[in-house]
Amino acid sequence: MIRFDNVSKVYPKQTRPALRDVSLEVEKGEFVFLVGSSGSGKSTFLRLILREERASHGQVHVLGKDLARLSNWKVPHMRRQLGTVFQDFRLLPNKTVAENVAFAQEVIGKSRGEIRKSVPQVLDLVGLGGKDDRMPGELSGGEQQRVAIARAFVNRPKLLIADEPTGNLDPQTSVGIMKLLDRINRTGTTVVMATHDQNIVDQMRKRVIELEKGRLVRDQARGVYGYQH
Amino acid sequence: MRAQFVVSEIGVGLRRNLTMTFAVIVSVALSLALFGGSLLMSDQVSTMKGYWYDKVNVSIFLCNKSDAESDPNCAKGAVTDDQKKSIMSDLDKMSSVVQKVTYESQDEAYKHYKQQFGDSPLASSLTPDQMQESYRIKLKDPQKYQVIATAFDGRDGVQSVQDQKGILDNLFGLLNGMNWAARAVMALMLVVALMLIVNTVRVSAFSRRRETGIMRLVGASGFYIQAPFIMEAAVAGLIGGGVACAFLVVARYFIIDHGLDLSHKLNLINFIGWDAVLTKLPLILATSLLMPALAAFFALRKYLKV
C-alpha cells in the first residue's frame, strides 16, 4: 500500500533534511500511528504520500505507483483513491453538511443519482444521520470532524490519511472519532494517522512508527506512545 | 463534469469580486471598442481612397501669355501648337499608364471657373486669355503620378504638372495618423485589461483557496479546479466585448446616420456601410472571450498550483 525506500526530503533553502533515509512498508488493511515531536518530520511524511511534495532521494510507492514517475496530470487520479482528514476539519463554511460531503463527489464528476445515494449512507456511517442540512458552524468540533471523515470516506478510498484528527477535540470526543476510524479500518481501508495523543495510541495498541529529527527511530507492532513530551 | 455546479461557482466568483469584475468589463470594453474603431477607420480610409482616386486627375497646365512674363517655367513664351502636338503624341505613347486624356481650352477653363466662383470679385475681372490651357489625364493607376511628372515637368510650354492625389494624400495621411494613435491607445488599454484580469484571477484564486485546497485533496483534476476561474474571466470579457459591440453600433448610428448626421453634411464622402460594422462584431466578441480566458489560464499556472 505504502513503501518508502531510503527516502530523504530536503526543503529548498534548508540544510537540515526534514526526512533522513526512511525505509518502511505499510500493508493493505493496516492501522498505523505516526508519532514524534513537532518538527520530527511527520507532516513531511504525509505530504510525500499525498504527493504534495516529492522526495529528494529515494522512492515513495503509494498504491503500487512510484510517485516520482507519476506525471502531474495523473496526481488527481491517485488522490481520488486516498481520503484525508485534518486537525482543522477543512470544511466549507457556506455549504451544508450534505453539500460538503457531496463536494468530494461533485469535483470528481460523480452523477447526481450516485451522490444522492451515497451521501446519506456515509453520513449514517459516521453517526450524523439526519443532520444533512445543518451548517458546519452549527456543529460541535467532534461532529465537524465526523463530516470531514464522511467526506474523506465517501469515495471509498483504499487509504485514509489522518493528520492529528483529534488534535482539536476533548478526550471524550476523541474516543468517538477513534472508534469511527477503527470501523473504517475494519472495512479494509488502510489508515495512517499522525498524532500527539498518548492515551489514544496506548489504548488502541496498533502499529506505531516514531520519527525523531527526520529519522525513523521505532517501528513497533501493537506499540505504545512510548515517550514523554 | 456537472455544468450546473460549474455555473454556480462562476456566479459566486464574479459576485465576490464585483468591483474587479466591473473594472475588467470596462477596460475590455474600452480596448475592444478602440480596436473595432481603428478597424472601421481603416475601412473608411480605403473606401474613400477607392472613391476619390477614381475621380482624381493629373493636370498638365500649359503656359499662357501672362505666365510667359511672370513664371520662370514659361520663360520661352506661351505654348505653341507644335509643343502641344508633341505633348499629345507623347501622352498617346504612354497608353500603359494613361487611361484617358481630355484637353481643356482657355475658354472652357474660363467657363468652369465662372461656374465655380462666379460670384467672387476676382472672377469678374478675369478674362479667358488669362486662363491656362491644360491636359486632364486620368491614370490607370493613380499611384503612377510620377511617370507623368518626370515626362512633362520642365518641358517647353508646360507651366506645371499637378497631381490632385497629392492633396488627398495629405488627408489620408492625417486619417492614418489618427488611426495609429487609436491603435496605440488600444494597445495600452489592452495591457491594462490583461493586467486587471491577471490580478482579478489572482484575488479570486486567493479568496477561494480553501475550496481549491479541498478540491485538490479529494482529487479534482487541474482543469476542473481552474475551469471556474477561466470561465469567470471569459464571462467578464464577453460582457466587455458585448459593450464594445454596442458602442460601435451606436457610434455608427449617431455619427453617420443620425445625430451628427455626417452622411448628409459631408455628402462628398461616401461612408462605410452597416456591413462593415457588423462583420467586425464576431471578431471583437471572439477576442473578448479568448483573450481573458488565456490570460486567466496563464495567471493560474502561477497562482493555483495543482
Q: What percent of chain A lies above the pLDDT cut of 90? A: 76
End-to-end CA distance of chain A: 31
CA–CA gap between residue A133 and residue A124 (Å, rounded)? 14
Q: Residue B145 carries which side chain, given as an amino acid letter? A: Y
For A175, residues 6+ apart whose C-beta sits below 8 A from its C-beta are A200
B219/A108 touch (CB, cutoff 8 Å), yes or no: yes
Mutate to test the interface with B, among A65, A106, A114 (most CBs of B within 10 A): A106
Task: Please state, as a whole number, how many other Cβ atoms lie within 10 Å of the Cβ of residue B170.
Answer: 9
pLDDT digits (tens, 9 = 90+) for B137-154: 888 877 777 788 888 887
Say if CB B61 and CB B134 are below 8 A apart.
Answer: yes
Candidates B210, B218, B306; nearest CB to A108 = B218
Selected residue with higher pLDDT from B18 and A216: A216
Residue of B nearest to A82 (CA): B218
CA–CA gap between residue B40 and residue B272 (Å, rounded)? 8
Asked if B215 reaches chain A (Cβ–Cβ under 8 Å), the answer is yes
- Mode of pairing for the β-strands spanning A207-212 and A31-35: parallel
pLDDT digits (tens, 9 = 90+) for A143-158: 999 999 999 999 999 9
> Lowest mean pLDDT: which of A155-164, B38-47, B67-76, B205-214?
B67-76
Say if CB B60 and CB B236 are below 8 A apart.
Answer: no
pLDDT at B86: 84
B219/A109 touch (CB, cutoff 8 Å), yes or no: no
Q: What is the DSSP string of A63-128?
A: TTEEGGGS-GGGHHHHHTTEEEEETT----TTS-HHHHHHHHHHTTT--HHHHHHHHHHHHHHTT-
pLDDT digits (tens, 9 = 90+) for A2-31: 999 999 999 998 888 999 999 999 999 999
Strand partners, A220: A208
User: How close, in Å, is residue B209 to chain A by CA atoms?
Assistant: 11
Give B-chain residues touching A78 at CB under 8 angstroms.
Answer: 219
pLDDT at B54: 73
ipTM value greater than 0.85: no
Q: Is residue B210 within a helix (H) or strand (E), and if so which, with residue range?
A: helix B209-217
Give A-chain residues touching B1 at CB under 8 angstroms.
Answer: 109
Strand partners, A85: A162
pLDDT at A116: 93
Selected residue with higher pLDDT from B63 and A20: A20
Chain A residues with CB under 8 Å of a chain B CB are 50, 72-73, 75-82, 84, 90, 92, 103-104, 106-109, 112, 151, 155
pLDDT at B268: 62
Rounded to the nearest 10°, the torsion over CA B70, B76, B80, B86 is: -120
Is residue B222 very low, low, confident or very high in pLDDT (cuts 50, 70, 90)? confident
User: How close, in Å, is residue A109 to chain B by CA atoms?
Assistant: 5
pLDDT digits (tens, 9 = 90+) for A159-216: 999 999 999 999 999 999 999 999 999 999 999 999 999 999 999 999 999 999 999 9
pLDDT at B267: 63
pLDDT digits (tens, 9 = 90+) for B281-306: 999 999 999 999 999 998 888 766 65
Which grid coordinates belong to A136?
458546519
User: How close, in Å, is residue B48 to chain A by CA atoms?
Assistant: 55
The CATH 3.30.70.3040 portion of chain B extends over 56-163
Give A-chain residues touching B214 at CB under 8 angstroms.
Answer: 90, 92, 103-104
Domain ranges of chain A: 93-156
pLDDT at B49: 76
CA–CA gap between residue B51 and residue B72 (Å, rounded)? 36
Strand partners, B158: B62
User: How close, in Å, is residue A72 to chain B by CA atoms?
Assistant: 8
Predicted confidence (pLDDT) at residue A55 exceeds the cutoff of 90: yes
Which grid coordinates belong to B42?
481603416
Q: What is the fold, at CATH topology level, of the domain defined by B56-163?
A: Alpha-Beta Plaits (3.30.70)
Predicted confidence (pLDDT) at residue A62 exceeds the cutoff of 90: yes
Candidates B2, B217, B220; nearest CB to A84 = B217
Say if CB B91 and CB B98 are below 8 A apart.
Answer: yes
pLDDT at B2: 60
